[in-house]
């Protein structure tokens, strides 16, 4: 593992969390601060058709994991990426030097997702996902625990603090790896 990441000049970061926890907002700011490349996996799946059709029940594309991993492999090997997705168990473990799990208070998240126009079932699925810390568990099962970090994302101050912490981490990365 040390050898794998040692070949990269810049780190790869995965930012995950329940929809609405602020992944895209955080990644956009972090990419601007660090000049790392922001990869929004949801957009990529839609734009490059990396899916097996639409799931009416879940109201989203059925992501094709193999197509997504093939599409990203070269860039990930090169390093310097911030990957933005509400799932993390199908990416190769060796891709990421840091896995950030954003977490939001349930009532705050409920308001954000209602504003997004989510229907009742999508709303309750996502709130439940947050209550049971599904993404944190998934991250801990899929990556070494010392690479996984949970960060609170309730307010703009939280985002600013998280971005600044991660920017420092990126700047120091070559010293620690």
Binding-site residue numbers for ATP are 20, 22-25, 116
> From Mn ion, ligand ADP, none, which one binds at residue 17 (CB under 5 to 8 Å depending on kind)?
ligand ADP
The closest alpha carbon to 63, from 3, 134, 55, belongs to 55
The closest alpha carbon to 77, from 94, 89, 100, belongs to 94
- DSSP for 30-52 reads HHHHH-PEEEEHHHHHHHTT-EE
Give the residue at shortest CB distance from Mn ion. 24
- State the distance between the two ends of the chain, measured CA to CA, in whole angstroms: 11
Contact positions with ligand ADP (CB under 6 A) in 15-44: 17, 19-25
Closest distance of CB 11 from Mn ion, Å: 21
Q: How far apart are CA 6 and CA 101, in angstroms?
A: 24
Contact positions with ligand ADP (CB under 6 A) in 45-64: none
Residue 24 binding Mn ion, by CB under 5 A? yes
> From ligand ADP, Mn ion, none, which one binds at residue 125 (CB under 5 to 8 Å depending on kind)?
none
Would you tell me which residues interact with ligand ADP (CB under 6 A)? 17, 19-25, 112, 153-156, 158-159
């Amino acid at each position: 593992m040390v050898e794998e990441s040692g070949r990269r000049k810049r780190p790869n970061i995965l930012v995950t969390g329940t929809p609405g926890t602020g992944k895209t907002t955080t990644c956009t700011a972090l990419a601007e601060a660090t000049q790392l490349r922001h990869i929004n996996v949801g957009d990529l799946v839609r734009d490059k058709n990396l899916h097996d059709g639409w799931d009416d029940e879940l109201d989203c594309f059925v992501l094709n994991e193999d197509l997504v991993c093939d599409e990203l492999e070269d860039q990930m090997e090169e390093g310097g990426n911030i990957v933005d997705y509400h799932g993390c168990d199908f990416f190769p473990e060796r891709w990421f030097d840091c896995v950030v799990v954003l977490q939001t208070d349930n009532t705050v998240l409920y308001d954000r997702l209602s504003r997004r126009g989510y229907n009742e079932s999508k709303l309750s699925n996502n709130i439940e996902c947050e209550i049971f810390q599904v993404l944190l568990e998934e991250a801990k099962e899929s990556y070494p625990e010392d690479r996984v970090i949970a960060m609170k994302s309730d307010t703009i101050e939280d985002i600013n603090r998280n971005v600044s912490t991660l920017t420092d981490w990126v700047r120091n990365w070559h010293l620690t790896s």
